[in-house]
Amino acid sequence: MGSSDPRLVLLGRQGAGKGTQSTRLAEHYGVMHVSTGDMFRTQAAQGTAFGLEAKRYMDAGELVPDEIVVGVIEESMVPGGPLGGGFVLDGFPRTLHQARELDRVISGDPLDLVIDLDVPREIVFDRIAGRRVCESCQRVYHVNLPPEKDWTCDTCGGDVRQRDDDTEEAVERRLELYERETVPIVQYYRALGLLILVDGVGEGDEVFERLVKVCVEQLS
Ligand code: ADP
Ligand code: ZN
């Protein structure tokens, strides 16, 4: 990597570990972690009109319409905003249209690398069913790996619970949408020479090491 902060995108199925790993990568590089899902959940919890609108789609396991998503991303371009410097994008772009809009929005300073965190469908299903998330800081836990004190977040003390959209039906729907809407982005970034596939199966630490290794190799 040169002197500037990396600009990364992490793609992967729901439950591939994108949230956890992109948070760690962002910390590792000292750049912003930008998750559109977290942005929507925060706004919904605050009860903003926009957040409540997004929540309707999220709870149904639908994608939030592109205009809304791109609007939020564009807002974060303001000087000092998350997309001003280096970043790890998590959950955006998720459609080909969003990928093209991202190119437009950051045209002056393009992406460095797009990582496809690969975990087979059968495995992610189990992971999502057991997933529990901190309502305040969005830290991800699992029923097999809970916080130290009864469902109180180790990081911030917030309530740790199951997300409204982690029901079986909603997950089915989101995985289907991933194949249909997001897989085409993989091809798009491959054609641009930005894509690298990383195996996301295994322990969190192990996967993180793989990611850092790939970044070191690719960003030099
Ligand atoms: P997951 O990857 O498990 O779906 P996220 O937290 O990334 O979890 O997103 C939760 C929900 O927020 C999605 O199911 C979708 O409704 C909405 N969402 C997040 N990012 C986007 C996006 N880039 N485009 C459309 N909808 C999005
Ligand atoms: Zn927390």
182 CB within 6 A, ligand 1: no
Give residue 3 CA to ligand 1 midpoint distance, Å: 32
Alpha helices in the chain (DSSP H): 18-29, 36-46, 49-59, 66-75, 96-105, 121-129, 168-177, 183-191, 204-218
Enumerate residues 6+ apart whose C-beta is below 8 A from 194. 111, 112, 113, 114
Instruction: State the Cα–Cα distance between residues 29 and 34, nearest whole angstrom.
Output: 13
Which two tokens mark 43? 């706004």
44 CB within 6 A, ligand 1: no
Q: Does 158 fall in a domain?
A: yes
Of 24, 41, 132, 163, which one is the catalytic site residue? 163
Whether 6 contacts 113, CB under 8 Å: yes
91 CB within 6 A, ligand 1: yes
Q: Does 201 fall in a domain?
A: yes
Q: Does 43 fall in a domain?
A: yes
pLDDT, residue 160, reads 97
Q: Does 79 fall in a domain?
A: yes
Per residue of the chain (220 residues), what is the pLDDT tens digit?
444 789 999 999 988 999 999 999 999 999 999 999 998 988 898 998 888 999 999 988 889 999 999 888 887 766 666 677 899 999 999 999 999 999 988 877 889 999 999 999 889 988 888 899 999 998 999 999 999 999 999 999 999 999 888 888 888 888 999 999 999 999 999 999 999 999 999 999 999 999 999 999 999 8
pLDDT, residue 78, reads 65
Instruction: State the Cα–Cα distance between residues 33 and 36, nearest whole angstrom.
Output: 10
Q: Does 1 fall in a domain?
A: no
Q: Domain range spanning residue 101?
A: 7-219
pLDDT, residue 141, reads 93
pLDDT, residue 1, reads 42
Q: Does 81 fall in a domain?
A: yes
Q: Whole-angstrom distance between the N-terminal and C-terminal Cα of the chain?
A: 4
Give residue 169 CA to ligand 1 midpoint distance, Å: 15
Atom of ligand 1 nearest to the CA of 94: 23
Angle of CA points 142, 32, 180, to nearest 5°: 60
Ion ligand 2 residues within 5 Å by Cβ: 134, 136-137, 139, 153, 155-156, 158
Atom of ligand 1 nearest to the CA of 95: 24
Angle of CA points 114, 53, 32, to nearest 5°: 30
Q: Does 2 fall in a domain?
A: no
Of 13, 41, 139, 174, which one is the catalytic site residue? 174
CATH (domain of 45): 3.40.50.300
CA 28, 29, 31, 37 dihedral sign is negative
Is 163 part of the annotated catalytic residue set? Answer: yes
Q: Whose CA is nearest to atom 12 of ligand 1?
A: 37
Note the ligand closest to the C-alpha atom of 166. Answer: 1
pLDDT, residue 79, reads 63
Q: Does 33 fall in a domain?
A: yes
Number of domains in the chain: 1
